[in-house]
Amino acid sequence: MKLSDYLRADLVAVGVQVSDSTGLIEWLADFFHENLPQLDRQSLYQAFHERDQKRQAGLECGLAVPHAMLPGIERPVCAVVRLAEPIPMGTIDGSLVRLVFAVVSPADQPAAHVRLLARLARLCCRPHFLEQSTAAADAAALLEVVRREDERHV
């Protein structure tokens, strides 16, 4: 499974202004709904929020992976977001989150959802990847960094 198969250029953003995890979840629900109108914004917000209440999406190394499973989508999709300023999100190592990969998958495809999350975990905590992602000038450059790193790993 390649991450690149689930990335869309219209779901990459740089310089996103949010102040906390709730603001991020609201922003992500709007962002996905704007680019995938078949997804209900409120259902998406609720799914992200419920997941965040169980366990925050922060991993480590300044990375968070909010994720949700919903009806109304045919295949998993992934958004990549770099925040303007890092925010706290309960990361394992206590780091502030700057880079976000948000995953939305069909409710009836849990195995694909888990494989995509595992792929993200393997790719994302490499120091050079995080440095390049943080340095990317714009959304197109960030997408290229992610795709290049994804191609390096089988």
- Give the tens place of pLDDT for each residue, 35-64: 999 899 999 999 999 987 777 666 777 888
pLDDT of residue 51: 84
How far is Cα 83 from Cα 68, in angstroms, rounded to an integer?
20
pLDDT of residue 1: 76
Query: CATH number of the domain that 90 lies in?
Result: 3.40.930.10
Whether 145 shows a pLDDT value over 70: the answer reads yes
How far is Cα 19 from Cα 23, in angstroms, rounded to an integer?
6
- pLDDT by residue (tens digit) across 71-121? 878 999 999 999 999 999 888 888 899 999 999 999 999 999 998 888 888
Which strand (E) or helix (H) includes residue 61? none
Domain extent, residue 15, equals 3-152
How far is Cα 56 from Cα 129, in angstroms, rounded to an integer?
22
Kindly give, in sequence order, each residue whose CB lies less than 8 Å from that of residue 75, ignoring residues fewer than 6 positions away.
6, 105, 106, 109, 112
DSSP string, 76-101: -EEEEEEEEEEE----TT-PPEEEEE
Other CB atoms closer than 10 Å to residue 25's CB: what's the count? 23
State the total domains in the chain.
1
